[in-house]
């Protein structure tokens, strides 16, 4: 039986021979990455250069777009290389690095959405005290709190999976993930499972509690408030709710696929579901916020018009 010193790389078993369609797959994935990278980068630049957008809501949006760039860059270049490769292998260090980037992206996304819901709660439920409650210093602390715990917690995952003795090296996915690596282990993985479940629960349920609480308060104000209050709530919360549902949908499918056997499902369906939370939020979030928030829409239009002239 092979031990961990002999298994210096992993084989990604979900890839299939694209044959004559390989160039088409590469073009589609490359186009998606260019659009995701360009749209998120454009909105980051728009928010940073326009002083009128230096408000808490847009600072959280900027953090969200930075995370979209981070997550998609951890996936798409890797996918493009694998599509063009005949042998779908990845070195162990690169695989562990991808595990870190994918999981930290997911944790940051949930925390960022929770911070955005808290910001909307203060803006709608406490409009007169909003500027006092959501100061620049508090925004900075919240953004640090969004990024620091996921990066630290997922970094601590690496010492648990790197030393594992593995009986195989085939990961039935198109990218590396922690649970698939742990399932290959010959040694005891009790600590890995406890740590993984604890981190997953905290990463999901803590932000979810914040989001549910804030939206319960927002709904209460909407039902008892004026028509203008309801319109403001709908206009500012609709993109956030759409973003939350979009990401939650993909994350739930990824968790179900990782924890339960879905080998009976079509290969293309499993690939799509595993990639959904890494591709669809970065793809749709810039469109949702760019089209729904008038300040961003007008600034983008002025920036593009100015460059054209």
Element housing 9 (H / E): strand 9-12
Q: How many domains does the chain have?
A: 1
For 215-223, what is the mean pLDDT?
83
Strand order in the sheet with 89-91: 89-91, 9-12, 170-171
Q: In the chain, what are the helix, strand and coil shares in percent, each to the nearest 5?
A: 80, 5, 20
Assigned token pair, 168: 């195989």
User: Rounded distance, CA 80 to CA 53, Å?
Assistant: 35
Nearest 5°: CA angle at 12, between 257 and 107? 50
User: Rounded distance, CA 72 to CA 2, Å?
Assistant: 34
Q: How confident is the model at residue 36 (pLDDT cuts 50, 70, 90)?
A: very high
- Tell me which of 251 and 261 has the higher pLDDT: 251
> Which three-class secondary structure state does DSSP give residue 156?
coil
Residue 293 lies in a domain: yes
Residue 83 lies in a domain: yes
Residue 288 lies in a domain: yes
Residue 4 lies in a domain: no
Q: To the nearest 10°, the Cα dihedral for 149, 250, 60, 38?
A: 120
Residue 3 lies in a domain: no
Residue 1 lies in a domain: no
Residue 2 lies in a domain: no
Element housing 269 (H / E): helix 267-292
Q: How many residues does the chain have?
A: 309
Provide the residue range defining the domain that includes 102.
9-308
Assigned token pair, 76: 């798409």
Question: How many CA atoms lie less than 13 Å away from 18 in the CB half-sphere?
Answer: 17
Residue 78 lies in a domain: yes
> Which three-class secondary structure state does DSSP give residue 188?
coil
Q: Specify whether the CB–CB gap between 60 and 143 falls below 8 A.
A: yes
When mean pLDDT is compared across 64-73, 107-116, 252-261, the lowest value belongs to 252-261
When mean pLDDT is compared across 19-23, 29-33, 203-207, the lowest value belongs to 19-23
Q: What is the CATH number of the domain that holds 161?
A: 1.20.1070.10
Tell me: pLDDT of 4 over 50: no
Q: Specify whether the CB–CB gap between 176 and 96 falls below 8 A.
A: yes
Q: Report how far apart the first and last C-alpha atoms of the chain are (Å, whole number).
A: 67
Tell me: pLDDT of 257 over 80: no
């Amino acid at each position: 039986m092979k031990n961990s010193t002999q298994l210096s790389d992993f084989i990604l078993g979900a890839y299939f021979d694209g044959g004559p369609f390989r160039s088409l797959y590469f073009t589609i994935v490359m186009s998606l990455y260019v659009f995701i990278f360009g749209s998120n980068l454009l909105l980051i630049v728009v928010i940073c250069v326009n002083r009128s957008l230096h408000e808490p809501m847009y600072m959280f949006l900027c953090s969200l777009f930075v995370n979209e760039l981070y997550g998609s860059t951890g996936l798409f270049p890797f996918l493009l290389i694998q599509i063009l490769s005949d042998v779908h292998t990845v070195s162990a260090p690169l695989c562990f690095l991808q595990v870190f980037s994918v999981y930290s992206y997911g944790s940051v996304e949930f925390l960022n959405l929770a911070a955005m819901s808290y910001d909307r709660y203060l803006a709608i439920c406490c409009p007169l005290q909003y500027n006092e409650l959501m100061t620049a210093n508090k925004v900075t602390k919240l953004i640090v709190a969004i990024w620091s715990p996921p990066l630290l917690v997922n970094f601590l995952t690496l010492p648990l999976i790197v030393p594992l003795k593995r009986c195989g090296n085939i990961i039935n996915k198109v990218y590396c993930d922690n649970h698939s690596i742990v399932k290959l282990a010959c040694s005891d993985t009790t600590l890995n499972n406890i740590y993984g479940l604890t981190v997953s629960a905290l990463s999901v349920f803590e932000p979810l509690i914040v989001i549910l609480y804030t939206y319960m308060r927002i709904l209460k104000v909407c039902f008892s408030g004026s028509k203008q209050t309801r319109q403001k709530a709908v206009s500012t919360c609709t993109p956030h709710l759409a973003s939350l549902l979009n990401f939650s949908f993909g994350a739930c499918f990824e968790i179900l696929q990782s924890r339960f056997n879905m080998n009976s499902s079509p290969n293309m369906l499993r690939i799509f579901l595993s990639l959904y939370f890494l591709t669809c939020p970065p793809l749709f979030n810039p469109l949702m916020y760019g089209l729904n928030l008038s300040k961003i829409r007008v600034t983008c239009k002025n920036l593009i018009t100015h460059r054209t002239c």
